[in-house]
Structure 1
Amino acid sequence: MTRLTRAIFRKELIETFRDKRVILGVIVSPLLLTPCLMGAVLFFASQKAMEMQSSVLDIGVYQEAEFPALLEHLEADESIKLRELGSREEAVSAIESLEARAALIIPRDAPEAFRKNETAQLELIFTQANENSGNARNRLHGIIGAFNREQTKSRLAAADLDESFIAPTKLTDTSIAENEAVVGFALSMFLPYLVVMSAAFGGINTAFDLCAGEKERGTMETLLVSPASRYEIVQGKLYTIFVISLVSSICSILGILIAIAFGQNIIETLFGEGFSISYLNLIALVLIVVPLSLLSSAALFLVSSFARNPKEAQAYIFPFVALFIFPAVLSSILGAESPLYTALIPVLNIAMSMKQLLGNVFDLSYFCLALGSSIAYAYVSMRIVTALFQKESILFRS
């Protein structure tokens, strides 16, 4: 970096950070709004989960024939409140009017089949269009499942059979993943997408202001007659956009980690364990977003160089948005153990590398190839921007 490049870089960076919009969008929003939003979502999600678990649900029961054993079991459960219904049509009407969240229909032959140690066929009516009705359906499945287990034990005891008679095999799940790996896997589902978006859009206002904005204000000519060469001007401005994009990406990562740190109790309520992430993974995440930020900065500066003013630059932004959003969304669908050739796909390779780092399936060859190819793409983009900046027809479009 030459002396004049450093001077332009310092000048642009100082002026950029004087803009309150940049401070708000790049630093304040990821570090303050992101934790607040995630905290609010986690809080209300945990409140909703506890509310659904503790609520007493109205359940309708229509018996074509009495089934006392099942009714006693249902009445003993304090999480539901039974209501006798006179017909199947009344049950449907009660659910539609929200007088009952779900209804259990006991056919005429069900009690007799139960007494003969056969399977009693029951019908559960609910509506998928209502959250509480779905909760009631799940609640009834759990209660009747417990009833079935009790009756199975009774039938086996009456036949002088052990429980192993109906269980030829028993499968026990053993997860060897540590809490850190489980946490990383959960984060890998959404963190790469957020970081890519932050790198792509964190420096958008800065990029549009540093080139298209200067064209509109008429200050580009003054800068071009300065002692700095056009190459040095491009480098100074590009480094400024790069710093803003990188800061935005890092703040997004830190914002999510802050939200996780402050929401440990809520997360433990929802998932049964706390979240944490190693410093090594954090360092690797920051390292991998460096070429991503450089690539997005060069692409944004390319758009800004071609546009006459910031408004026109916004009109040209759609291809740029598609270039970054599509791979980011695709990364949330693909598995972390993707083929090696995906390490050559711009943006997607960075997102997949982050997913591997967080999901504890780190592949050094994939990481190196993704890092190297991303640096190459960023370098090519920088050269294209520099070449465009040399053309009068691009700089002084009217």
Structure 2
Amino acid sequence: MWLVFFKELKELLRDRKTLFFMIALPILIFPLIIGGVVYFTDKAVKEAQSETLDYAIVGSQFAPDLAEKLNALSDLNLVVVPINDNHQQLIAADTVDFIIEIPANYSEHILQSGQATINVYLNDARINKVVARVEGIIKEQTNVLRQTAFESLHLNSDQGAALITPIVLNKIDTANQRESLGEKLGGMIPYMIFILCLQGAMFPAGDLGAGEKERGTLETLLISPIERYKLVLGKFFTVAAAGITTALITVASMALWGTLLSKGMAVEFVVTFMSSIGALDFVLIFLMLIPVVAIFASILLSLSIYAKSYKEAQSYMGTLVILVIIPIIFALLPNAELKGGWAWVPLTNVALAIKELVKGTMDYYQLFAIFGSTALIAGALIAFCIHWFNKEKVLFR
């Protein structure tokens, strides 16, 4: 068995493509994703905030002060359009970026005219910060009208505030910053880790089964005096070693970039989030990935043994990527928590556990259920892989 393992491992280390998916990709993926998202999001928002927008105002005669303040803004350019034109068509044709429509009942005497509704027509699918630019002027004008109404009623500012909002609901969040950010971002980490581990094991698995069929070396291997189950285990450990290496490098990459980010190489919330994850959390994440990789390796090797060619094996394995996403989606459900039945669901329980570790709310007693169920499924799949390899009709399809 170990002779087969070392032989396959030596051939594996000669394949540059496999080494890239095992080593280079896990190291690069986290800085590319985190840094790329932060950089391009920040760049897009800044460009949207600094862009000069064309606008039109309908009913400006009802609110001359408001129209004058909007016209004074340097990042807005007033465009005159026919009053009766269709607003949506003007925006769709890029004649203007947005249109403000002031109602006829707009007045400085709001107690007499009542509430006025100002319509803003815009294409909200774009990042343009239209509402943010206009909202400041509207709020300023609203405060002036409100203060005028208070003075006419002989109310001070506190009485006026109580009149507008008699009861204030104050939300006090008991979750710390790590738990809050972990709930929002923790679900992404299992997705990236699982896919990377699967990718790391996929290429060697395809080569050790279907690849040997294509090269005609499988028959030579079968006539050797080594027992069949030892051949399978040797190949399995090779595929698992590739997946575990990917898992180790992935978790180490998370820890490394978390340390770098904590030294001020990213935005504040990313620094706080990454630096709050402890060394023990990273170790537990890696240990939980070992039986997960065993599941991936046994399934991938079974598919590779069954396939007639390397190309056919790759098509089967591509479908497996989609199936791996499903347990992660279950972990993102609102009612999915690492307790009860969820702690025994393979892959989903590991995804939930990684999320809990990131949040800092892990119930460590659930590790018994996680390791137990995942190891049991992995063992059953390894046994199936051995059974599959012993079938001549499968080997020589």
TM-score (norm. length: structure 2): 0.86
Within the candidate set 24, 27, 43, 1:28 is matched to 24
Within the candidate set 150, 160, 165, 1:156 is matched to 150
Instruction: Look up the match of 1:330.
Output: 330
Is the 1:65–1:111 Cα contact (8 Å) retained in structure 2? no
Residue identity matched to 2:246: S
Residue identity matched to 2:153: A
Encode CA deviations 1:150-195: one digit per residue, 9 max, x unaligned.
4324432442322233222233343343343344334312111111
The share of aligned pairs that are identical, in percent, is 26
User: What is the SS of the residue equivalent to 2:337?
Assistant: coil
Instruction: Look up the match of 1:46.
Output: 42
Structure 2 Cα separation of the partners of residues 160 and 266 of structure 1: 55
Structure 1 Cα separation of the partners of residues 110 and 266 of structure 2: 43
Which sits farther off after the overlay, 63-72 or 183-192?
63-72
Structure 1 Cα separation of the partners of residues 356 and 305 of structure 2: 35
1:139 aligns with 2:133: yes
Instruction: Look up the match of 1:311.
Output: 311
Instruction: Look up the match of 1:268.
Output: 267
Alpha-carbon distance change, 294 to 62 in structure 1, aligned in 2, over 3 angstroms: same
| Displacement of 1:103 | 1.0
Structure 2 Cα separation of the partners of residues 81 and 9 of structure 1: 71
Alpha-carbon distance change, 394 to 32 in structure 1, aligned in 2, over 3 angstroms: same
Counterpart mapping for 1:341-352 below 5 A: 341-352=341-352
Which sits farther off after the overlay, 117-126 or 151-160?
151-160
Structure 2 Cα separation of the partners of residues 275 and 52 of structure 1: 29
| Stretches of structure 1 lacking an aligned partner (at least 5 in a row) | none
Instruction: Look up the match of 1:244.
Output: 242
Residue identity matched to 2:198: A
Residue identity matched to 1:296: F
Residue identity matched to 1:329: I
| Displacement of 1:30 | 1.9
| CA RMSD of superposed structures (Å) | 3.0
Alpha-carbon distance change, 337 to 51 in structure 1, aligned in 2, over 3 angstroms: same
Which sits farther off after the overlay, 384-393 or 19-28?
384-393
User: What is the SS of the residue equivalent to 2:96?
Assistant: coil
Is the 1:39–1:259 Cα contact (8 Å) retained in structure 2? no
Structure 2 Cα separation of the partners of residues 247 and 8 of structure 1: 19
| Displacement of 1:254 | 4.2
Structure 2 Cα separation of the partners of residues 335 and 146 of structure 1: 43
Residue identity matched to 2:191: Y
Structure 1 Cα separation of the partners of residues 273 and 300 of structure 2: 39
| Displacement of 1:219 | 2.0
Instruction: Look up the match of 2:100.
Output: 104
| Displacement of 1:304 | 1.6
Structure 2 Cα separation of the partners of residues 149 and 368 of structure 1: 60
| Displacement of 1:274 | 6.0
Encode CA deviations 1:333-382: one digit per residue, 9 max, x unaligned.
45552652123333222222222222333233443212210100000011
Is the 1:331–1:352 Cα contact (8 Å) retained in structure 2? yes
User: What is the SS of the residue equivalent to 2:287?
Assistant: helix
Instruction: Look up the match of 2:299.
Output: 299
Which sits farther off after the overlay, 194-203 or 173-182?
173-182
Alpha-carbon distance change, 261 to 192 in structure 1, aligned in 2, over 3 angstroms: same
Structure 2 Cα separation of the partners of residues 151 and 266 of structure 1: 46
User: What is the SS of the residue equivalent to 1:59?
Assistant: strand
Is the 1:36–1:259 Cα contact (8 Å) retained in structure 2? no
Residue identity matched to 1:221: E
Aligned length: 391
Instruction: Look up the match of 1:206.
Output: 204
Alpha-carbon distance change, 69 to 351 in structure 1, aligned in 2, over 3 angstroms: same
| Stretches of structure 2 lacking an aligned partner (at least 5 in a row) | none
| Displacement of 1:19 | 0.6
